[in-house]
């Protein structure tokens, strides 16, 4: 299976974001390596999630729908884990 790595830092409030984009990438790369997951592409976006219109995220979902990759690895700051997205069913794996 092929996965996107998706790192995002909110533009709303710099103090609320726990990990920087680079720190997210480091953790997600390590997780993918540890779990033997193939990373298809890494995407980085600095955009709020409160408003619609995250272009890279939307393009990533379209690519998954077209079969270019099967899932997303993203660091979820509220849960301290890696969130994966597969087959329209989110699940959380301990990171």
pLDDT > 50? residue 6: yes
Task: Return the ∠ at Cα 60 (arms to 6 and 86), rounded to 5°.
Answer: 80
- The domains located in the chain, with CATH, are 2-93 (3.40.50.1390)
Place 93 in a pLDDT band, splitting at 50, 70 and 90: very low
Is the whole model's pTM more than 0.85, yes or no?
no
* 22/11 Cα distance (integer angstroms): 15
- The confidence score (pLDDT) of residue 5 equals 94
* 21/41 Cα distance (integer angstroms): 15
User: Can you tell me the mean pLDDT for 69-84?
Assistant: 68
- The confidence score (pLDDT) of residue 34 equals 93
pLDDT > 80? residue 59: yes
Place 79 in a pLDDT band, splitting at 50, 70 and 90: very low
Residue 31 belongs to what H/E stretch?
A: helix 21-34
């Amino acid at each position: 299976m092929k996965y996107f790595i998706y790192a995002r830092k909110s533009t709303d409030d710099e103090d609320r974001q726990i990990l920087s984009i680079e720190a997210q990438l480091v953790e997600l790369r390590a997780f993918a390596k540890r779990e033997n997951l193939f990373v298809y592409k890494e995407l980085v976006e600095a955009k709020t999630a409160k408003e619609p219109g995250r272009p890279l995220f939307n393009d990533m979902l379209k690519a998954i729908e077209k079969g270019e990759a099967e899932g997303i690895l993203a660091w979820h700051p509220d849960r301290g884990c890696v969130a994966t997205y597969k087959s329209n069913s989110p699940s959380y794996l301990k990171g």
